[in-house]
Amino acid sequence: MEDQAKGLRELVKKERNVKNSKFITVASGKGGVGKTNFSVNFAFTMANYFKKRVLLIDADIGMANIHILLNSDPSKNLKNLFNGENIEDLIVKSEGFDTILGFSGIDSLDDMDEMSISMLINALESISYRYDYVIIDTGAGINEKIASFLRASSRAYIVTTPEPTALMDAYALIKSIYNIYGYNNFKTVINMSKNREEAINTFNKLKLSANKFLGIELEMLGFLPITQNLKKCVKRKELIVKILPNDPFSLEMRKICALEAQEPIKEINSNFWEKVFDFLGKKRKK
Ligand SMILES: Nc1ncnc2c1ncn2[C@@H]1O[C@H](COP(=O)(O)OP(=O)(O)OP(=O)(O)O)[C@@H](O)[C@H]1O
Ligand SMILES: [Mg+2]
């Protein structure tokens, strides 16, 4: 019986490996630099222009707000798993991609018992591997939870703006994840720059510090210009990449997605959720 169960687990894992899902965590250090807008517009572009299967997860514990940008029902969140709902019924389908309004209804992962953790991991694992991309939007700050998502990811997208405070926080985040955990799979997105030149100058400052003080090579994934059109779209709860496909923001987002879509995956991430919760010091009930 034990052998049979083990065999089945291996089979499921093997099947999942074929999917080569990429897990990308979006983080920044400083708040309000555009992580959530980036994540939602990235998910839309990947799904609709590059025909990728995308799952977007709101992991901003306590301050989740993807549902606001997508104008969807916030009560459909992971907390319902513990009321007996099936994870399939908690997937919000909109705009060509799927969303899990994540941890919004869960106040803290700290108080969860082993049973609940197991339930959460099993549920998330059962759906994640059917996607090409799983995008995890995190909140502001540098903390253990964000670090756990970053360390388990295939890549970390660090979003920053040209503001010195945003740059400093982006550097601090990279430094702590690299120094403490040795994780070094970062790609930088410069948001809200006036033009490409300002974005490149901004990136070069970050690259120089990372190289000089940490000895790591940072890569720039792309830049997104500052635009009033994005703010207008946010107010109307519309996605700029959908409503204004020729706005410079949308054009640059397509370049970012084109670059990402051609990146090969270095390592198959077959137990992402188990890793996240392991890093958080949470054990799964076997
Ligand atoms: N390229 C841009 N041009 C103009 N405004 C922008 C741009 N990117 C983001 N914004 C504005 O910045 C604000 C913050 O954006 P967003 O919520 O995406 O940031 P965040 O990093 O997710 O914030 P938090 O850290 O609170 O989660 C929003 O009001 C948004 O409209
Ligand atoms: Mg956000």
Interval 146-167: pLDDT, tens:
999 999 999 999 999 999 999 9
Domain ranges, residue 207: 20-278
- For residue 202, the one-letter residue type is T
The number of folded domains in the chain is: 1
Residue 4 counted as domain residue: no
What integer is the mean pLDDT of 263-275?
A: 80
Q: What band does 62 get if pLDDT is binned at 50, 70 and 90?
A: low
Residue 9 pLDDT = 52
- For residue 229, the one-letter residue type is N
Judged on CB neighbours under 10 Å (0-12, 13-18, 19+), 47 is buried
SS3 at position 160 = strand
> What global pTM score does this model have?
0.91
Tens-place pLDDT, residues 204-240: 999 999 999 999 999 999 999 999 999 999 999 999 9
Q: The domain that contains 224 carries what CATH number?
A: 3.40.50.300
Residue 52 counted as domain residue: yes
**CA angle (42 as vertex; 88, 78 as ends), nearest 5:** 25
Residue 10 counted as domain residue: no
Q: Which two tokens stand for residue 2?
A: 């034990």
Above 70 in pLDDT, residue 119?
A: yes
Residue 46 pLDDT = 98
Judged on CB neighbours under 10 Å (0-12, 13-18, 19+), 26 is buried
What integer is the mean pLDDT of 114-121?
A: 88
Residue 46 counted as domain residue: yes
Q: Any alpha helices (H) in the chain, and if so which ranges? A: 2-19, 35-48, 66-70, 114-128, 144-152, 164-181, 196-209, 228-236, 240-243, 248-262, 272-279
Residue 190 pLDDT = 98
CB atoms within 10 A of CB 270: 17
Q: Whose CA is nearest to atom 12 of ligand 1?
A: 34
User: Which of 26, 35, 37 has the most ligand 1 atoms within 8 A of CB, as the residue to mutate?
Assistant: 37
Residue 15 counted as domain residue: no
CB atoms within 10 A of CB 254: 16
Task: Please name which ligand lies nearest the alpha carbon of 58.
Answer: 2
- For residue 90, the one-letter residue type is L
Residue 12 counted as domain residue: no
Residue 39 pLDDT = 97
Residue 13 pLDDT = 55
Above 60 in pLDDT, residue 2?
A: no
Residue 145 counted as domain residue: yes
Mean pLDDT, the chain, whole residue set:
89
Residue 184 pLDDT = 94
Q: Are 240 and 249 in contact (CB under 8 A)?
A: yes
Tens-place pLDDT, residues 74-101: 788 888 888 899 999 999 998 899 999 8
Between the CA of 68 and the centroid of ligand 2 the distance, in Å, is 11
Above 90 in pLDDT, residue 66?
A: no
Cα(250)–Cα(274) distance, integer angstroms: 35
Pocket lined around ligand 1, Cβ cut-off 6 Å:
28, 31-37, 60, 139-140, 191-192, 224, 226-227, 230-231, 234, 249
Residue 79 pLDDT = 84
Residue 18 pLDDT = 46
SS3 at position 141 = strand
Cα(185)–Cα(203) distance, integer angstroms: 16
Angle at which helices 248-262 and 35-48 cross, to 10°? 70
Residue 185 counted as domain residue: yes
